[in-house]
Amino acid sequence: MLHDIWFLLIAVLWMGYFLLEGFDFGVGMLAPFLGRNDGERRTVLRTIGPVWDGNEVWLLVAGGATFAAFPYWYATLFSGFYLALFLILVALIVRIAGLEYRSKRESTSWRQAWDWIIFFGSAVPALLWGVAFANIVTGVPIDKDGNFTGTLLTLLNPIGLLGGVVTLTLFLTHGATYLALKTEGDLRARANAWVLPIGLVAAVAAVAFLVWVEANKTVTGAAVLSGVAAVALLAALGANRIKREGWAFIFTGATLVIAVAALFANLYPNVMPSSTDPAFSLTVTNASSTDLTLQIMTGVAVIFTPLVLLYQGWTYYVFRKRVTAPRVA
């Protein structure tokens, strides 16, 4: 029972991470294109300035919870996906450096270089998270001892790359709706203009990915969730067309949350399906910690999770207003 609850909680953590870090990645990728001068690019990046570090906490907690609740899942995942996760980590580090150091010098070339570092530091994780989750859901080569027997190239298969395109374009769409909500004037208009074309690409890629996955799995709940996610994305594009930016952002966020829920619904009761032999798959039962460990974790989560949510909610409330160029010049 407890291992099922923690599978659900880890899914919720990934939902929170994709919801919040998703628009961070989108903003980082859009900054060099939406901002036509240094002041505008600085304004774009300032929209995530007060919140990006808090958003990354969701990833740390998701990783820590996986390690504690499902150590065998963690061991297989982090050993088999080592190079991909290492690339994500490096990208996140250089992205953070870009956000912190971009404005330390007045040099135009200095700031432009950091703008592109932020772009790639956002684009690489946005792509590779999709590659990773697509492979996890569809299955990877795992032997009877729970060891990953493939390579990085094994993960870069057609369905994995398609999953990467889905997350990349969804994060771009989410970031564009966020910028439309948080900026004014020309920046706001440009952000709104990006939503529809990127969103349509995301919709086509997502439909292709879901059809591919559902053709090989018959999980009714996951199929329903996938359909709801598609409707949410279309609603976001419709809200953007009538300049209801708040609703557009809510719907792109809902798209990401529901899409992650669909992935985990497709995965359950496995946590790492084996493409070598289904009998070698890691499940919520054979990959979990002891009941005592899960009981202690549950107690800690009940106490501290509401505090974290209250603090992060307060942060978003304090910095809820639009950001304009004169305020950050």
3-class secondary-structure state, position 70: coil
* Mean pLDDT computed over 13-32: 94
Task: Note the pLDDT of residue 325.
Answer: 65
| Average pLDDT value over all residues in the chain | 89
Q: CA–CA separation, 195 vs 122, rounded Å?
A: 18
Question: What pTM was computed for the model?
Answer: 0.92
Question: What length does the chain have?
Answer: 329
Q: Show me where the domains of the chain are located.
A: 2-328
Top mean pLDDT of 200-204, 274-278, 303-307 is at: 200-204
**Does the pLDDT value for residue 252 go beyond 90?**
yes
Q: CA–CA separation, 111 vs 116, rounded Å?
A: 9
pLDDT in tens, 292-315: 988 898 888 888 888 888 988 888
Q: How confident is the model at residue 329 (pLDDT cuts 50, 70, 90)?
A: very low
**Does the pLDDT value for residue 196 go beyond 90?**
yes
Task: Note the pLDDT of residue 226.
Answer: 85
Task: Note the pLDDT of residue 195.
Answer: 95
The crossing angle, in degrees rounded to 10, of helices 185-216 and 158-182 is 150
* Mean pLDDT computed over 276-282: 87
In terms of Cβ atoms closer than 10 Å to its own Cβ (0-12, 13-18, 19+), residue 324 is middle
* Mean pLDDT computed over 185-195: 92
3-class secondary-structure state, position 270: strand
Task: Note the pLDDT of residue 189.
Answer: 92
**Does the pLDDT value for residue 58 go beyond 50?**
yes
pLDDT in tens, 166-178: 999 999 999 999 9
What is the b/e burial string over 179-208, where b = at least 16 CB atoms within 10 angstroms of the residue's CB?
A: bbbbbeeebbebbbebbbebbebbbebbee
pLDDT in tens, 125-142: 999 999 999 999 888 889
Place of tokens 């929170």: 16
